[in-house]
Amino acid sequence: MLKRFIPLLIFIGLVAFLAIGLSLDPKKVPSPLINKPAPALNLPQLFNESELVTNSDMLGEVWLLNVWASWCAACRAEHQVLNAFSNNHHVPLIGLNYKDSRANAKQWLSDLGNPYQKIAFDMDGIAGINWGVYGVPETFVIDQQGVIRYKQIGPLNDEILEKTIIPLINKLQKAAS
Amino acid sequence: MTPDIGQLALIFALLMAVYQAILPMVSSFKGFQAGIATARYLASGQFIFLCISFACLTYAFLTDDFSVKYVASTSNLSLPVLYKISGVWGAHEGSLLLWALILSLWTVAVCLFSRDLPAVYLARVISVMGFISVGFLIFLLALSNPFEKLPFTPADGRSLNPLLQDPGLAIHPPMLYMGYVGFCVAFAFAISALISGKIDALWVRWVRPWTNIAWCFLTIGITLGSWWAYYELGWGGWWFWDPVENASLLPWLVGTALIHSLAVTEKRGAFKSWTVLLAISSFSLSLLGTFLVRSGVLTSVHAFATDPSRGLYILCFLIIVVGTSFLLYAWRSPSLKSESGFHFISRETGLLVNNIFLVTIAACVLLGTLYPLILDALDAGKISVGPPYFNAVIVPIALGMFAVMAIGFSLRWKNDSFSRIFKRIRILLVFALIAGLVLPSLWLSSYNVYSSIGLTLASLIALVAVTTIYQQKKSYSQISGSVWGASIAHIGMAITIAGISITAVYSHEKDIRLSYGENYEMAGYSFKLIDVTQHAEKNYQASTGLVEVFQKGQLIAQMKPEKRVYDIQNNPMTEAAIDAGFFRDLFVALGEPLGASSWSLRIYHKPFIRWIWLGALLMALGAAIAVADRRYRKTAART
């Protein structure tokens, strides 16, 4: 007579998986680039068109690469977090302006403030492809040897910074010294 | 002001729904007649308030009331009026309001057309539907309020997703929801049957028309979705096994099984508890679909903006509704005894096998859809399940089902014999084999086993259905609506199968680079790119190509594929040009500019693709015709 309980049991099993599934994010795919050397940037700067941004500029330092665009709504929310971060921490924060126009990007920064030391301008999204960018904003942590240590998909917030990124930066800096 | 009225009406609708869920149900047990009688008034009241609420939201869209957050995020000053209206259900909150309105519409329809149903029974059915409504209205008010105000009024809105700015998609969601929610009626009847512990032929005659109508709408909704994906997404495919598409296919498959199982329950008094189980399952799968689409547990091109608290709410609601139903089923189903046995070779067996096939396919689709989630939940890695899985698993099962479908339709109730069946179909089988094996080798460029089997079975299904009408030996007007409906639906299925069998195997597609004036040959057609011009429209900028198509030197079509960039959201959109025909579609999509005077283009030749949707519409028509069967009206007259 267990037969009539079968639908209920199947359903309970299904619900268990759905409940676990709720706490997971299907969009979070681990990046294959973690612990691999960062792909080359070699892009013109946003403000200074004749100058390039290259990875070797930052060699020997722990640095962050933040992918953003003026058309990206989530970037707007993230921007205040980045402004605060760059005021309080002296880690190079490099921007990668992704599939944007120079005018829009500059306007955006003059409205909201510029937390970046340098900004690479990637109109065609070529560097974006090499870095595996698929959701803007994204943030990478790169160590002194130019190896990607962490990738954040979606906007940064204070919690992620405090709990993950800043401890990671401290750890990487200590390991070197 | 108007949004406030809409909000208030929504609250009143919720109050009505709460009473509707409790009062008639409790009264039906206490024998409290006045309470039982309130069911239809409460249902009507709820409907009126939801209409007011929906009208207020529509008004807010038409008058560009951007103080309402939902309007500001889905509409825009420059949006054409049609899309301001369809924008009402263009995102999560409004589509949920539409869902609640349609549920209420179904409830009122049940009240209107079931006047002769015993009052106690009607009260319980309406109560169950009221309960579902309460769940959705609380969800609306607490977590998805379409009338939520913004602290400031923006000058302009963010606009509707350009993908949704399309007439086909304007009516796709209402159709789909009519189908999804329509299964709630069969569900409510099933719950009432479990409560009373009794299912008779009369019960089935009440349920069958409702199930058919719901199924009819769902079929149209899925067809529109498929057609839209074909011409709007610019990928040239008609089904992508996307989780959200699968979510609509699941209730359809189980609903199809339900329609067939109901036939057995009506004619032979058998499969009773199975029928009830299918009725519960098809609506449960509709709810599951809602959960999958709106919770963000799966990635999909269709997924709504997600919010974990919404997912949690729907999951809890799912547990309450489906869990309670299955518990009730486990407790009460032993009281539903089948009245008759049947022999191995009989229509009952045919329909049983059909049900097993349909449910197996549904289980495979469900497994494929949830597999990424299950693996992720078990921390066994991130994967995605795509068309290769579904095609490999579903196609063989479906072919088996089609074989049974052809033979099963010619089987007699209770007892039949192989020799009679063989006599009945042997000539048809010869014709089918000619159509499936011989014709393709004459017509088509190459030979493919699956396509050939598909065509043979499609022909056999169609021939059996046509001859069934002929064998009735009655004048056409005397043949019952059920027989007409079933035959037409089966012919529709055959047409769809034939379309799939040819399109899936014999389509050509090519990504090419063409300079102005250059041409490319494919499948006997020559595609010549004349030029690409730029122009501005009301709410987008467009690049329009002109491609001339020649067949045997004759100009047969001028095609204008377009690439649009919408002003507000800045998304590029592909508007493919399609030269449609009964036997083939030509499809040209504009890619990227490659230098000053050449472009990348994607071109397709899709033989018989229209048949897929044409067949599906025939299926829907068949279901609608079956509803018109006289015996459903006779029941109404007699009781």
Query: Do the Cβ atoms of B4 and B56 come closer than 8 Å?
Result: no
Query: Do the Cβ atoms of B262 and B275 come closer than 8 Å?
Result: yes
Cβ contact, residue pair B377, A5, below 8 Å: no
Q: B318 touching A, CB under 8 A? A: yes
B605, two tokens: 């030749």
* Separation of alpha carbons B169 and B301, rounded Å: 14
Q: How many residues does chain A have?
A: 177
Query: How many Å is the maximal CA-CA distance in chain A?
Result: 79
Q: A4 touching B, CB under 8 A? A: yes
CB-nearest to A26 from B280, B333, B376 is B376
Q: A3 touching B, CB under 8 A? A: no
Query: Do the Cβ atoms of B290 and B302 come closer than 8 Å?
Result: no
* Separation of alpha carbons A142 and A40, rounded Å: 12
Residue B638 has pLDDT above 50, yes or no: no
Q: A19 touching B, CB under 8 A? A: yes
Q: Identify the bridge partners of residue A94 per DSSP, sorted by sequence position.
A: A65, A118
The number of helix segments (H) and strand segments (E) in chain A equals 6, 7
Q: A15 touching B, CB under 8 A? A: yes
Query: Do the Cβ atoms of B493 and B405 come closer than 8 Å?
Result: yes
Q: How far is B579 from chain A (nearest CA, A)?
A: 33
Instruction: Identify from B365, B374, B384, B567 which residue to disrupt to test chain A contact, counting A C-beta atoms within 10 A and taking the largest count.
Output: B374
Contacts of B318 in chain A (CB under 8 A): 15, 18
Predicted pLDDT of residue B16: 96
Q: Which residue of A has its CA nearest to B323?
A: A8
* Separation of alpha carbons B448 and B458, rounded Å: 15
pLDDT tens per residue, range B98-120: 999 999 999 999 999 877 788 89
pLDDT bin (cut points 50, 70, 90) of residue A156 is: confident
* Separation of alpha carbons A144 and B258, rounded Å: 64
Q: B329 touching A, CB under 8 A? A: yes
CB-nearest to A8 from B296, B326, B334 is B326
* Separation of alpha carbons B487 and B618, rounded Å: 10
Q: Which segment, B60-69, B229-238, B500-509, is predicted with the most confidence on average?
A: B60-69
Pick from B192, B215, B201: nearest CA to B272? B201
pLDDT tens per residue, range B205-216: 889 999 999 999
* Separation of alpha carbons B226 and B547, rounded Å: 25
B336, two tokens: 């539903």
* Separation of alpha carbons B610 and B415, rounded Å: 39
Predicted pLDDT of residue B283: 96
pLDDT bin (cut points 50, 70, 90) of residue B639 is: very low
Instruction: Identify from B317, B373, B375, B383 which residue to disrupt to test chain A contact, counting A C-beta atoms within 10 A and taking the largest count.
Output: B373
Bridging pattern class, strands A138-142 and B598-607 = unpaired
* Separation of alpha carbons B531 and B537, rounded Å: 19
Q: Which residue of B has its CA nearest to A30?
A: B382
B442-456: b (≥16 Cβ within 10 Å) or e: eebeeebeebbbbbb
Mean pLDDT of B580-587: 90
A95, two tokens: 């921007």
Predicted pLDDT of residue B234: 63
* Separation of alpha carbons A103 and A118, rounded Å: 16
CB–CB contacts below 8 A, A to B:
70
Beta-carbon contacts of residue B526 (< 8 Å; ≥ 6 apart) = B519, B520, B549, B550, B551
pLDDT bin (cut points 50, 70, 90) of residue A177 is: low
CA B577 to the chain's CA centroid: 26
Pick from B365, B83, B80, B106: nearest CA to B222? B365
Cβ contact, residue pair A11, B322, below 8 Å: yes
* Separation of alpha carbons A9 and A114, rounded Å: 56
Pick from B268, B246, B463: nearest CA to B364? B246
DSSP per-residue letters across B565-622: EETTT--EEEE-EEE--SSEEEEEEEEEE-SSSEEEEEEEEEETHHHHHHHHHHHHHH
pLDDT bin (cut points 50, 70, 90) of residue B500 is: very high
Contacts of A12 in chain B (CB under 8 A): 323
CB-nearest to B297 from A4, A7, A22 is A22
Backbone φ and ψ for B446, nearest 5 degrees, come out as: -140, 170
Q: Identify the bridge partners of residue B558 per DSSP, sorted by sequence position.
A: B548
Predicted pLDDT of residue B137: 97
Predicted pLDDT of residue B103: 97
* Separation of alpha carbons A148 and B390, rounded Å: 37
Q: Which residue of B has its CA nearest to A70?
A: B570
* Residue A42 or B316, more confident: B316
Residue A103 has pLDDT above 80, yes or no: yes
pTM exceeds 0.90, yes or no: no
Q: Identify the bridge partners of residue B3 per DSSP, sorted by sequence position.
A: none
Q: How far is B373 from chain A (nearest CA, A)?
A: 6
B314, two tokens: 């729907």
B271, two tokens: 């499969």
Contacts of B376 in chain A (CB under 8 A): 21, 24, 26
Instruction: Identify from A3, A5, A9, A11 which residue to disrupt to test chain B contact, counting B C-beta atoms within 10 A and taking the largest count.
Output: A11
Task: Tell me if residue A83 falls in helix, strand or coil.
Answer: helix
* Separation of alpha carbons B192 and B28, rounded Å: 11
Beta-carbon contacts of residue B489 (< 8 Å; ≥ 6 apart) = B618, B619, B621, B622, B623, B626
Cβ contact, residue pair B280, A7, below 8 Å: yes
Q: A103 touching B, CB under 8 A? A: no
Cβ contact, residue pair B298, A26, below 8 Å: yes
Predicted pLDDT of residue B575: 84
Mean pLDDT of B426-449: 83
Peptide bond into B146 cis (omega under 30): no
Backbone φ and ψ for B200, nearest 5 degrees, come out as: -125, 180
Predicted pLDDT of residue B571: 65
Task: Tell me if residue A51 falls in helix, strand or coil.
Answer: coil
Backbone φ and ψ for A92, nearest 5 degrees, come out as: -60, 130
Q: Identify the bridge partners of residue B587 per DSSP, sorted by sequence position.
A: B578, B604
Q: How far is B294 from chain A (nearest CA, A)?
A: 11
pLDDT tens per residue, range B335-359: 887 777 778 888 889 999 999 999 9
Bridging pattern class, strands A63-68 and A93-98 = parallel
Contacts of B273 in chain A (CB under 8 A): 4
Residue B441 has pLDDT above 80, yes or no: no
Query: Do the Cβ atoms of B88 and B57 come closer than 8 Å?
Result: yes
Mean pLDDT of B116-137: 93
Q: How far is CA B289 from CA A18, B243, B366, in A?
A: 12, 9, 10
pLDDT tens per residue, range B280-307: 999 999 999 888 877 767 665 555 555 6
CB-nearest to B299 from A15, A23, A27 is A27
